[in-house]
């Protein structure tokens, strides 16, 4: 029975977050623990396992998984070296595989390696050989590199933003791999580099213009000649040389078909570049709007979005709440280990005078002094509302200062749904102003019921106002950092020798 190796390595980083990520910021799973987790979680590996099991012709072999607890700062070299060694060693231990599926992210970056996923793929080729088909799934925010494309047989990227097709993407990748192993597919990939960085609501695939572009990619995949297509929009906060958007199309032996699709997708993205930028509201104006909102006003602090790689200790909105004397009820998350420690010393019911904010990124955020009562303490472990994934915020304290409630964690976790709030006894629907540290709010978590959604133009390592971040490494010119000359799509083709 053909044996298919399955491996995972996923992290998204912000190069502008001063806090380095480390090995302890990952959950590492091996062997049966790796598969047992994903059979219960609706992520890429789970989708691939189910698709492969449907055929009953393949033995799936668990190798290694390193999945970041959440996005963060640039990965320390020593930590990446350890993860890479463990990842590659697990492949050495595999016995005569017929193929491999790798669930990667694409926006990881280490201190001295701007393309960790490309490095892993290149080294995996040395171990597995040139004849083994390797299928790769990537996040929509992947920074797609030549090395990734050269050393994989085909790439499958998410189609949705916000991301809800994790499971389906893994299944798509597995089905292409099975077609290759069955002699039914000879993938050839066309890629176009698009010199643009994008943010904003037009990227929401259910409602924005980006969804129209993705619709073209899906139509290509439904064609008998199409295998995979999409647009990777890159992560504007991962400042590496290959940062940009990319269109790609993987056809079944039909090079011209792949080139046409990739070119068309690139042109459609470029035509929409002006609209694919965020519309932002200044902090003071946003808090003022919240005071005039009937129902709950959700202030989306994308600049300090932990799911995008920010530190999570941003307090710009809180500072304005205190300064303006906002009279409504407030619910907000913040990362501040010293404040949590003070709360644990005081105990539940105790009163503390502490500072919140600026504990991790002091160059951007000045600590705010508050007096508060400790209402709850926890270990910070809970499951996401969206996908049921395990999240670990570390020791966590709920602090109450008048009508203002802060959920203070020791480490960043993703904050795009309500899980952190609900796990600590607070329903956002009961507050007048809620801070959500995310560039988007998913339905039905917020969008379907809140009185107003406000995209806030605050400071942070993941600001949608990308001109303010200070890119130094990405290729220039790139929109909107520059005004590039007229865009003429140039296609690069990738195909493994055995398919040519």
Sole residue written with tokens 């203070």: 408
Residue ranges of the chain with pLDDT lower than 70?
Answer: 443
* Cα separation, 120 vs 30, whole angstroms: 17
Picking from 388, 431, 437, 386, the residue whose alpha carbon sits closest to that of residue 413 is 437
- Sequence-ordered list of residues with C-beta below 8 angstroms from that of 488, at least 6 positions apart, any chain: none
Residue 26: per-residue pLDDT: 96
Count Cβ atoms below 10 Å from residue 477 Cβ, excluding itself.
10
The pLDDT of residue 382: 93
Position of tokens 């190069």?
15
**Checking phi first, is residue 414 left (phi over 0); if not, alpha (psi -120 to 50) or beta?**
beta
Is the omega angle on the peptide bond into residue 444 within 30 degrees of 0, that is, cis? Answer: yes
294-317 in b/e burial notation, b at 16+ Cβ within 10 A? eebbbbbbbbbbbbbbbbbbbbbb
- Do residues 76 and 21 make contact, with C-beta atoms less than 8 angstroms apart? yes
* Widest distance between CA atoms in the chain: 71
3-state secondary structure of 436: strand
pLDDT score at 230: 98
- Do residues 154 and 144 touch, judged by C-beta distance below 8 A? no
Q: What is the pLDDT, as a whole number, of residue 94?
A: 87
Three-state secondary structure call for residue 118: helix
- Provide the angle, in degrees to the nearest 10, between the axes of the packed helices 116-128 and 77-92: 20
């Amino acid at each position: 029975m053909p044996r298919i190796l399955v491996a995972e390595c996923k992290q998204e980083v912000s190069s502008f977050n001063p806090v380095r990520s480390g090995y302890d910021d990952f959950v590492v799973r091996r062997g049966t623990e790796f598969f047992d987790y994903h059979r219960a979680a609706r992520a890429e590996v789970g989708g691939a396992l189910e698709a492969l099991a449907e055929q009953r012709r393949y033995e799936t072999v668990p190798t290694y998984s390193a999945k970041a607890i959440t996005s963060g700062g640039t990965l320390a070299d020593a930590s990446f070296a350890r993860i890479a060694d463990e990842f590659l060693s697990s492949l050495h231990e595999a016995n005569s595989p017929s193929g491999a599926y790798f669930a990667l992210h694409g926006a990881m970056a280490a201190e001295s390696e701007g393309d960790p996923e490309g490095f892993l793929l290149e080294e995996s080729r040395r171990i597995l050989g040139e004849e083994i088909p390797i299928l790769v799934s990537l996040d929509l925010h992947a920074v797609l590199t030549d090395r990734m494309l050269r050393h994989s047989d085909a790439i499958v990227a998410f189609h949705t933003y916000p991301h809800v097709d994790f499971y389906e993407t893994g299944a798509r990748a597995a089905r292409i791999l099975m077609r290759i192993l069955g002699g039914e597919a000879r993938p050839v990939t066309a890629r176009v580099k698009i010199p643009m960085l994008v943010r904003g609501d037009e990227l929401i695939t259910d409602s924005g213009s980006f969804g129209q572009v993705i619709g073209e990619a899906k139509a290509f995949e439904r064609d008998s000649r199409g295998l995979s297509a999409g647009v990777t929009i890159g992560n504007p906060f991962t400042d590496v040389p290959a940062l940009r958007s990319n269109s790609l199309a993987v056809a079944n032996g039909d090079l011209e078909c792949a080139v046409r699709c990739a070119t068309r997708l690139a042109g459609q993205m470029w035509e929409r570049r002006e609209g694919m930028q965020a519309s932002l509201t200044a902090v003071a104006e946003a808090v003022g709007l919240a005071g005039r909102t009937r129902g709950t006003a959700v202030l989306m602090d994308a600049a300090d979005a932990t799911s995008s790689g920010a530190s999570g200790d941003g307090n710009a909105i809180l500072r304005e709440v205190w300064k303006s004397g906002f009279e409504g009820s407030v619910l907000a998350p913040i990362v501040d280990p010293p404040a949590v420690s003070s709360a644990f010393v005081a105990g539940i019911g105790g009163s503390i005078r502490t500072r919140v904010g600026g504990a991790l990124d002091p160059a951007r955020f000045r600590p705010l002094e508050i007096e508060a009562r400790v209402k709850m303490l926890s270990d910070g472990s809970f499951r996401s509302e969206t996908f049921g994934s395990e999240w670990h915020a570390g020791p966590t304290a709920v602090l109450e200062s008048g009508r203002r409630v802060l959920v203070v964690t020791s480490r960043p976790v993703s904050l795009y749904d309500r899980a952190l709030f609900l796990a600590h006894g607070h329903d956002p629907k009961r507050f007048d102003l809620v801070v959500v540290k995310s560039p988007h709010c998913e339905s039905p978590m917020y969008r379907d019921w809140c009185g107003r959604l406000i995209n806030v133009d605050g400071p942070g390592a993941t600001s949608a106002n990308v001109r303010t971040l200070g890119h130094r490494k990405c290729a220039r010119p790139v929109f909107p950092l520059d005004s590039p000359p007229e865009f003429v799509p140039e296609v690069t083709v990738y195909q493994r020798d055995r398919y040519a």
